[in-house]
Structure 1
Amino acid sequence: MSKYLLNKFLYTVDRDPDLVERYRTDPAGAVARWEAEYAGRLLNCVGDEATTWLAFDDAERAALTAHDYPALFALGAHPFLTLTLFIGMFERDYPEPLGFQHEYARRLSHMTLPYPDIAT
């Protein structure tokens, strides 16, 4: 398990509207494509530097593919990164103000302190 890679996925997808829509409409394809094309790229790095050892494990891939943000949180994904990405993906599906944010809070309400470690 790599909290770093999980958070890197959330961070990079959230910053690209095309990746957000691809992840919304075809999560399995988007996760596989991101893992193949982006996982090895170094964040904030100029040039062609890359790594080859990073990959999602089965639990991470399943949670990402299912848009299962409570499972992502339990795996150590940063809650701010999950919230901002999933707001961008699903806020339009909730007509009331802050509708998705309320749903996010409701689905994570079973979590109690201490929260999972989000350090990478």
Structure 2
Amino acid sequence: MSKYLLNKFLYTVDRDPSLVERYRSDPAGTVAWWESSLGVSLLNSHSGEATTWLRLEDAERAALVAHDYVQLFELGAHPFLTLTLFIAMFERDHAEPLAFQKEYAVRLAHFNLPYPDIAT
């Protein structure tokens, strides 16, 4: 798995409000664009170089496109990165304060310690 690249996607998208909106409205396009342009430039300082670790795994890409934070957690994405990004994207869709955070907790409640490895 390319957990580093997966977490780098979550981190960089979360820190740019325009990317948050782009990812919310066009997840497949945003993931493809980020992986082929921004992700490569953030992690590779030499132009013209390419390695297989600069690509997301199919399962990671599918979970990102589906906004499936439970699957992302299962794949080893850092839970704080998924939580902050998905709050930015979906908290506005809930009427009650902290409603999305509560939904996040409920959907991840079936996990027991030890949690999936989040080391990169």
Question: What is the TM-score of this pair, normalised by structure 1?
Answer: 0.92
What fraction of aligned residue pairs are identical, expressed as a percent?
72
Q: Which runs of 5+ in 1 are unaligned?
A: none
Deviation >6 Å, runs of 4+: none
**Amino acid in the other structure paired with 1:49:** S
Q: Which residue of structure 1 aligns with residue 67 of structure 2?
A: 67
Q: Which runs of 5+ in 2 are unaligned?
A: none
Does residue 115 of structure 2 align to residue 119 of structure 1? no
**Which of 45, 51, 76 in structure 2 is aligned with 1:49?**
45
Q: Which residue of structure 2 aligns with residue 108 of structure 1?
A: 108
The aligned length equals 116
**Amino acid in the other structure paired with 1:103:** E
CA distance in 2, matches of 1:30, 1:40: 14
**Amino acid in the other structure paired with 2:50:** T
Question: What is the TM-score of this pair, normalised by structure 2?
Answer: 0.92
Q: Which moved more, 1:90-99 or 1:52-61?
A: 52-61
Structure 1 residue 49: deviation in Å?
1.6
CA distance in 2, matches of 1:33, 1:91: 25
